[in-house]
Chain A
Amino acid sequence: MSPLLRRSAEVLRRLARRKGALLGLLFMGVLILTTSLARWILPFDALTQDFSAILQGPNRVHWFGTDELGRDILARVVVGARTSLITAGGAVAIAAIIGVPIGLVAGFFGGWRDTLLMRFVDVLLSLPGILFAMALIAVLGRSQIAALIAVGITGIPSFARITRAQVLSLRKRDFVTAVEALGGSASYNMFRTVLPNSWSPILVQVVILSSVAILIEASLAFLGVGIPPPTPSWGEMLRTGKTFLYDSPTYAILPGLVLTLTILSLDAIGRGLAGVLADRHEDVAEGNTAAAGSRS
């Protein structure tokens, strides 16, 4: 086994020993498995309408009931998971690809580069996330890409700040100075020495931010500016379900429950991961709960 694989297996084993993180891993495992096998294991299609069976409560045929067009809610929840996970994954990738280099350069060089980059990050941070995303979507039009970009941009500050904090703590360490003294270029030092030693808090941030991203994506869909129908998405289902609260209360409750469990699972995995990695070396305890983004 390669060392990286062995280390990942070790981290995963320790993670599974924490009760909260284990439950989170199990839930996410089931969710990802069902959503990727949806076509083969679900008896109903997420888009097929059946007007002879609208707004049913949970029953033996439709476990989660049906919506106002007679579509199976369970199938829509499972397929909606794909929408959520892909949007969140893409958004986190955007945030990391832009945020990590910003934090790396700001923390490594300091001085005017630091001031300039971090003021930019401060401006991003001061934008109310959801309002900014809504403005961006108003201009770009409703699509999965728009939602992904909007959520991704709101995630840039947390990656920049966490990476910068980690780089600052490494910057004066002997091994970094040694590379400098040996004549290693700044970019070599940044990307080959400092960055590989900063992965732990960034990884924790990836997990925690994906839960935040799923939440923001669902909020946007709930406000009616997310991914356009008929693509099933959890927020959109809650939005429609809310108008049928009297006729079919489970319509809004069940998709919301799955959404909540997904967010809580990712949060538990993230916090467990932070604990495991902090045990390994105590200087990576940063950024544990730093992602309490604005989402009122």
Chain B
Amino acid sequence: MIGFILRRLAQLLPVLLVASTGIWAMIYAVPGTPIGTIVGENATPEQVRAAIERLGLDQPMAVQYWSWLRNALVGDFGLSIQNREPVLDLIVQRIPATIQLGVSATIVGLLLGVPVAVISALKPGSWLDRWLSGWSALALGVPTFWLGILLILLFAVHLRWLPSASAYVSIWESPWQALRNVLLPAVTLGVYVSGIFARFLRASLLGELRADYVRTARSKGLSERDVIGRHVMRNALLPFVTIVGLMMATFIGGTVVTEAVLPTPGWGGC
């Protein structure tokens, strides 16, 4: 098992190298530079030239790529254009808040998505199934930033129960405050991801319900509860866990839009 994991991790290295090179090359190939953003709109040509020289943008492509790669390998991602802090420091500072938001959003998504999937898979084609499928479509279609605005209006402006923007509070230090702070962004993201979870788990459950072992279990006289709970659910959860993991990875990778509506000190707000 450990050998397998190590082998997979070793395969990751070339993939990371190729992907990062690809992204670098794509940004490099696009005409234009972010130099205007860095020096400001009213910069003189001398200032622009100085900035280009300072950033090494006049060097040949191979030199630029090598210095970028070398710096990235030792964890030097340069300074943030916005607040002149090293990017790595910003990333490290914000890890706890990002993880806290990602995990809570996934929990909300599971709480909303799993029951919807199970109920609609048990009675496929019924009116209940149709309504619940409608819910999934709604959850996927409503833009997260609009949902965030609606939730702020209701819970922060109207009812005044929850803050609309929040600082990071560790769940281990003051659980109640942390929960209050993370609830709105977590629900905003969680509703969206519950739509993905519900659609995926429903399809997975329906696939399993058609399998032969289900007929065997039923003909053995097992109660429907045991058939679903002990057999179908376990098999259907296998592919589902992958999706949950992938979504969690997406959240950790950045929740830019949500953090723009509901300011939280995670990676998306950098």
Interface residues of A (CB under 8 A from B): 20, 123, 126-128, 130-132, 134-136, 138-141, 211, 215, 218-219, 222-223, 235, 238, 241-242, 245-246, 249, 252-253, 256-257, 259-260, 263-264, 267-268, 271, 289, 292, 294-296
Q: Of the candidates A127, A134, A256, A294, which one forms a contact with B146 in the assembled complex, judged by CB atoms under 8 Å apart?
A: A256
Name the residue of chain A whose CB is nearest to the CB of B81. A138
New A-B contacts (15) at CB < 8 Å, excluding given A135-B27, A139-B27, A256-B150: A128-B250, A138-B37, A139-B33, A140-B31, A211-B141, A219-B145, A223-B256, A249-B153, A252-B146, A252-B153, A263-B142, A271-B137, A292-B140, A295-B192, A296-B256
Chain A residues with CB under 8 A of B199? 289, 292
A296 contacts B145, C-beta separation under 8 Å: no
B261–A242 CB distance below 8 A = yes
Q: Which of B17-25, B63-71, B115-123, B176-184 participates in binding chain A?
A: B17-25
A38 to B173, CA, bound (A): 56
- Inter-chain CA distance A152–B152, complex, in Å, is 32
Chain B: interface residue count, which band? 35 or more
Q: 6 interchain pairs (CB within 8 A)?
A: A128-B254, A134-B256, A222-B261, A223-B256, A264-B141, A294-B250
B258 in contact with A296 (CB, 8 Å): yes
Contact B149 A242 (CB under 8 A): yes
Given the complex of chains A and B, what is the CA–CA distance between A235 and B251 in angstroms? 22
The answer to whether B257 touches A141 (Cβ under 8 A) is: no
Q: Quick one: which of B17-48 are within 8 Å of A by CB? A: 18-19, 22-23, 27, 30-34, 36-37
User: Are B257 and A223 interface neighbours, CB within 8 A?
Assistant: yes
How many whole Å from A292's CB to the nearest CB in chain B? 6
B72 CB, nearest partner CB in chain A, Å: 15
- Closest chain B CB from A64 CB (angstroms): 15
B137, A267: Cβ atoms closer than 8 Å: yes
What is the CA–CA distance of A9 and B22 in the complex, to the nearest angstrom? 45
Residues of A close to B137: CB separation below 8 A = 264, 267-268, 271
Which residues of B have CB within 8 Å of A238? Answer: 145-146, 149
> Is B138 part of the contact surface with A, judged by Cβ < 8 Å?
yes
Top-10 shortest CB links A-B: A256-B146, A264-B141, A263-B141, A139-B30, A222-B145, A252-B149, A296-B255, A123-B22, A219-B257, A138-B34
Contacts known (A141-B36, A242-B149); A296 close to B192, Cβ less than 8 A? yes
Decide if B91 is an interface residue (CB 8 Å cutoff): no
Complex contacts, B32 vs chain A, CB 8 Å: 139-141
* CB proximity of A142 to chain B, nearest CB, Å: 10
B253 within 8 A of A: yes
The yes or no answer to B189 lying at the interface (CB within 8 A) is: yes
Q: A184–B37 Cα gap in the complex (Å)?
A: 54
Collect the chain A residues with CB atoms within 8 Å of residue B22's CB: 123
Report the Cα distance A222→B142, complex, angstroms: 14
Residues in B whose Cβ lies below 8 Å from that of A211 = 141
Taking the closest CB of chain B, its distance from the CB of A161, in whole angstroms, is: 16
Q: How far apart sit A106 and B146, CA to CA, in the bound complex (Å)?
A: 39
Residues of A within 8 A of B189 (CB): 296
Nearest CB on B from A51, distance (A): 25
Partner of A245 from B37, B153, B251 at Cβ < 8 Å: B153
Tell whether A215 pairs with B157 under 8 Å between CB atoms, given A141-B32, A253-B149, A268-B137: no
Which residues of the partner chain B approach A127 to less than 8 Å between Cβ atoms?
Answer: 23
Chain B residues near A138 (CB-CB < 8 A): 34, 37
- Cβ of B12 within 8 Å of any chain A Cβ, yes or no, is no
Q: How far is the CB of A3 from chain B (nearest CB, A)?
A: 33
Q: Is B143 an interface residue (CB 8 A)?
A: yes
- Using CB atoms, name the residue of chain B closest to A255: B146
Which residue on B lies nearest to A136, using beta carbons? B30
Q: Given A131-B256, A296-B255, answer yes or no on A259-B153 (Cβ-Cβ < 8 Å).
A: no
What CA separation (Å) do A225 and B156 show in the bound complex?
27
The complex places the Cα of A135 from the Cα of B30 at a distance, in Å, of: 11
Q: Which residues of the other chain, A, contact B30 by a CB distance below 8 angstroms?
A: 136, 139-140
